[in-house]
Structure 1
Amino acid sequence: MMNVSSNGSEESSQVRLISERFVRPTHELSRASTHPYYLGPIDLLTLSLDHMQKGLLFQSKPQLVSSFLDTLGRSLSLCLLHFYPLAGRLETQKFPDEHACWVYVDSSKGPGARILHASVELTVSDILSPIDIHPIVRSLFDLGEKAVNHDGHTRPLVSVQVTQLLDGMFIGFTMNHSIADGTSLWHFVSTLSEIFLQLQSGKNEASISVSKRPVFGPFFPPGHGPILKLPYLEPEEFVCRFDPGPLRERIFHFSAASMAKLKAQAQANTGCKSHNISSFQALCAFLWRSMIKARDVEPDEETTCTIAINIRPRINPPLPDAHFGNLIAATQTSCKVGDLFGPKFSLGCQ
């Protein structure tokens, strides 16, 4: 049994690893899975970034944890039939004469999805009550192991950690960001849940169905792909590992009333009744101004706000939400700090 420690300011907690196993698809995959799964330009840009992590916190836990884990494993194995690239691993083909390499996913190799079963001597209240995010939370995803997406050459592309609390349960999902974005991650989690509920109700595996199957096909600019060579030969030439050190992390919740107030304030200062400010625009402007104010940036310096957006419905022709992969783009707006804090609060919204 392995212990993973996480030290907070006043206490030390330990996540105890109870078991670990890997799950592959229930049966032989489709013919398409034997071909390389190509990575697009956006995928390749994320190779030095961290994995995506999303978690679900439950205020109760199953009476028979072993039965729950068994059903979860069977569900994951069935889910991988639909999300087959996640069962594979990253591979690199080198071209020494060109001093280049090609990174792709080999769906027929790799250990499959990782399932971790762990426990920690904390309650749901212990996790939720601190003002800052409890330091143990990092260890509820892949035991807190640090990795970048390029590590998908040796690490699973998706993992699920089930951590028993004293009075609840936390399920942490970790997915390699070089193969999918947040929309695809939640699609995977929703499909896994859909399959789990059917198995739990007594359906046999042959009769399991899913409501929204993933659609595959990496997005390439016209005239490019499917093989995109990087102008590097060794990972050390382009893979960076950034360690910011210990950070305070906090989740902010904006009530419906505070959102309505922010939106009304921004709308009142637009100077144009025909221009409607959305709640999202008002919130982004408020966060932007707050961050710059906290950093005490000089008024004549330029500041930029960058937001990642889902481009599936925005490209021509549009792609469905079920399209698997990294279908994101960065949208930016810039201005002088002095202008951002001028009399028109709505400038940041626009």
Structure 2
Amino acid sequence: MESPRVEMISNSFVKPKFISKEAKKPVYLSPWDLAMMSTHYIQKGLLYALPKNQDFSITAFLDDLKDSLSATLTHFHPLAARLSTVKQQNPPSFSVFIDPNNSPGARFIHSSVNLTVADILTPTDVPLVVQSFFDHHKAISHEGHELSLLSVQVTELVDGIFIGCSVNHMVADGSSFWHFFNSWSEVFRSNTISRPPVIKRWVPPGSDPIITLPFTREDQFIERPSPSCLRVRNFHFSSDSLVKLKAKANSECNTTKISTLQSLTALVWRCMTRARRLLPDQETSCRMAADNRKRLSPPLPETYFGTSLHSVKATATTGQLLDQSVGWAAWRLHQAVVNHDDKVIREFVNSWLKRPFVYTMSRYFDASCVHIGGSPRFDMYGNKFRLGKGLAVLSGYANKFDGKVTVYPGREGGGSIDLEICMLSKNMEAFESDMEFMSVVNEEDNKLRIF
């Protein structure tokens, strides 16, 4: 039986409430931003229960959301702009920047669907209809020349509300995405913003802030991934379960340095590799998204608004990974993270400036790789919008592929973690039956789901 369709009720655009002199200037992009040209928009949002207060008015609520969004965009003004390209003839190349001119602003959509909160949270797999809770379906960042760089979609359910944001990945990474979302929630609550963003992009000292790219045709840097037969599941890990896993990993390596996330990532890497039935001598890798802000010297401010990501990688043969302990795998990941320092970051950026490239699925990801994104440190459940604590964080179609794992904080806090795991259907059944993995998962919490 097919799910009901999500119906659009209204569609409008929201501009910053005030436009400063700085907001009228173009924003030139960093190497980290430009490398994201072929990636999907970031799509994340929160599901809420419908307030039981009989005085609740969806019309008034939407008006308040728009008004607070307009005030928030005063500070996060790049999200109200569009991308623009200037082409050079000799040599053939072009530069892309954020252009505040001739833009209608950020998009705001009101929609509805005849489904309940239970319809979304009860199934084992994340329902496909959730993809329709986000705008810019399948859009890649380069399309920000025509599409809004931010689109908010508020979807009414029978007994709930979903607030979903689609943000261009050339404009923001996960840290910046949640910085914006947190700030919007703060403005909605108190009409103040405690952590204004730093908009100016970082390039190495002495580099030209206007970076030119040596491409002449879109097919040299654009790829539209189309994953097939993917299943998407969320798994919950309690703080107690994770404390035990971390202690086990550290004990096996006679250390105390391995983190909770490194321990959990090592477990996923091992069990996902086992489920894929790779040959013993086949190489497998695990990539973790690393924030460069604190690793640079001097560091960038935490409020740096843009993309500042790098992927750190650990590799092993399948035989090594499965014959050794989870601690052995966690230590390799720990070393990869520790070794990602200022020197490595600057070497990467300088190398990129000499030979610019754009991340594409076919060139930078393979069928034996596990890729970890997101962070349990992002404040997701603090965004209440007078609706109470969110019931779940959910994502759209964007940036999903076989082996993609997204990390969320657990709803109850206290160090708990949720993982959104994407795998080919043929491998997910073996993965979700893996005894090593399921011994750490809090299965009852997965079945009952707090709502």
- TM-score normalised by L of structure 2: 0.70
Secondary structure of the 2:212 match is coil
- State the distance in 2 between where 1:237 and 1:82 align: 35
Say whether residues 1:180 and 2:175 are aligned partners. Answer: no
Larger radius of gyration, structure 1 or 2? 1
Contact 2:107 2:151 in 1 (8 A): yes
- Cα shift at 1:237: 2.8
Structure 1: where are the runs of 5+ without partners? Answer: 1-9, 199-207
Q: Which residue of 2 aligns with 1:6?
A: none
- Cα shift at 1:305: 1.0
Say whether residues 1:93 and 2:83 are aligned partners. Answer: no
- Cα shift at 1:33: 2.1
Residues 1-350 of structure 1 mapped to structure 2, 5 A cutoff: 10-27=1-18, 29-61=19-51, 63-142=56-135, 145-198=137-190, 208-270=191-253, 272=254, 274-350=255-331
Contact 1:94 1:233 in 2 (8 A): no
- 1:111-159 per-residue CA deviation (whole Å, 9 max, x = no partner) reads 21111000000000100000000111000011x6221000100000001
Runs of 4+ in structure 1 over 6 Å off: none
Secondary structure of the 2:306 match is coil
Identity, % of aligned pairs?
43
- Cα shift at 1:90: 0.3
Contact 2:270 2:326 in 1 (8 A): no
- State the distance in 1 between where 2:192 and 2:147 align: 29
Structure with the bigger RCO (C-alpha within 8 Å, sep 6+) is: 2
Secondary structure of the 2:330 match is coil
Contact 1:299 1:337 in 2 (8 A): yes
- 1:307-349 per-residue CA deviation (whole Å, 9 max, x = no partner) reads 1111111111112211111111111111222211224331110
- Cα shift at 1:76: 1.0
Contact 2:41 2:167 in 1 (8 A): yes
Q: Which residue of 2 aligns with 1:201?
A: none
Contact 1:86 1:107 in 2 (8 A): no
Q: For the structure 1 residues 338 and 189, does the alpha-carbon distance in structure 2 shift closer, same or farther, using more than 3 Å as the test?
A: same
- Cα shift at 1:253: 1.1
Letter in 2 for 1:33: A
Moved more, 75-84 or 107-116: 107-116
Contact 2:140 2:224 in 1 (8 A): yes
- State the distance in 1 between where 2:243 and 2:320 align: 24
Letter in 2 for 1:49: T
What root-mean-square deviation, in Å, do the aligned CA atoms of Structure 1 and Structure 2 show? Answer: 1.5
Letter in 1 for 2:214: P
- Cα shift at 1:275: 4.2
- 1:248-296 per-residue CA deviation (whole Å, 9 max, x = no partner) reads 11111112232133223222321x2x44322111101001001111111
- Cα shift at 1:60: 1.4
- Cα shift at 1:304: 1.4
Contact 1:277 1:349 in 2 (8 A): yes
- Cα shift at 1:26: 1.7
- Cα shift at 1:81: 0.7
